[in-house]
Amino acid sequence: MNGGWRDRGRCAEVDPEIFFPEKGHATLAARKICLSCEVQAECRAYALDNPDLVGVWGGTSVQEWRQLRHEQEAS
């Protein structure tokens, strides 16, 4: 990872492939890791600011980021 909040993420302790499941596969394992992560909010904010990302970030999936972005734009 590239320093800062990313180095403190629980994801740095496990196989990164968990956070990038194949399309149609479950994201539950990644989400469980994110739930106990101290930088979950920073990670989610990063995902919201970077629409080209894939995978699970901050406990949210690509579809969820799209919904959150849409909600932010509507407010």
Q: Where are the domains of the chain?
A: 4-74
Spell out the residues 6+ positions from residue 6 whose beta carbon is closer than 8 angstroms to its own: 12, 39, 43
Mean pLDDT over each residue of the chain, to the nearest integer = 89
Tens digits of residue pLDDT in 36-68: 999 999 999 998 888 888 999 999 988 888 888
Confidence of residue 24 (pLDDT cuts 50, 70, 90): confident
Give the span between the Cα atoms of 20 and 48, in whole angstroms: 17
Per-residue pLDDT band at 70 (split at 50, 70, 90): confident
* Tokens 């629409």 found at: 51
- Name the phi and psi angles at 74, rounded to 5: -75, -20
Q: Using alpha carbons only, what angle is made at residue 45 by residues 6 and 68, rounded to the nearest 5 degrees?
A: 145
Residue scoring higher pLDDT (40 or 1): 40
Using DSSP's 3-state secondary structure scheme, residue 4 falls into: helix
**pLDDT value for 1:** 44
